[in-house]
Amino acid sequence: MKKTLLALTLLASASFAQDGASTTGVYLGAGAGIMTINDKKGDSGLGMSLRGGLALDDVLKGFGVQVEINNSLIDPETRNNVDIEVMTTALYTTYDISIPNSAVTLRPKIGAILPNMKDDIDSRDLILSSGFGMTYGLRNDLRLYADYTVLGSGVNHYSAGLEVKF
């Protein structure tokens, strides 16, 4: 039941985003970051992120949807020297909170990921994911971003990169 509800929520978000797409802003981004696991004696890895988003200000100011792919380039490792290969595809609902008189925007996100990890996570199940980040506007069409994202049971991703707004 939980998986069905989550899948229906994702479908509703995607179709809702498509309906409001006529007067919205699209952005694409890429970044790199550190992937950690909840094993304090394990080693961190290095990962990359690709993202695309759609700002739906006409629907609700600050509201948007974002698709994100995360992949480990150097896999995080457990204390038993077991590499955790991380590859996730995610759909998030985002809400941009602009800081007045500043180029900084806060961006919490919540959604679901389809993990493909060779660890204890069943890589066929959608799982809840959340994160928090911020952007810094360099120009109207270019932003720096920094994010913290939970990529599943025990995997965290701290990333930074660039977003281009169209």
pLDDT mean values, one per 10 residues, the chain (166 residues): 44 43 74 85 86 92 94 80 80 94 95 70 72 94 93 83 94
Instruction: Report the topology of domain 2-165.
Output: Porin (2.40.160)
C-alpha to C-alpha distance for 67 and 85, rounded to whole angstroms: 20
Give me the helices (H) in the chain, please: 2-19
What pLDDT is attached to residue 3?
47
What does the pLDDT read at residue 118?
54
Check residue 40 and give its pLDDT: 74
Measured CA to CA, the distance from residue 135 to residue 94 in angstroms comes to 13
Q: Which amino acid is at 165?
A: K
Integer Cα distance of 5 and 24 in angstroms: 27
Q: Which residues pair with 111 in a beta bridge?
A: 92, 129
**Under 8 Å between Cβ of 6 and 126:** yes
The number of angstroms, rounded, from the C-alpha of 72 to the middle of its chain's C-alpha atoms is 14
- Tell me which residue of 98, 45, 66 sits closest to 163, measured CA to CA: 66
Look at residue 117 in the predicted model and tell me its pLDDT: 55
The DSSP bridge partners found for residue 20 are none
> Which residue is it, tokens 């929520």?
9
Q: Tell me the longest C-alpha to C-alpha distance in the chain.
A: 51
- Phi (first) and psi of residue 23, to 5 degrees: -130, 50
**Domain positions in the chain:** 2-165
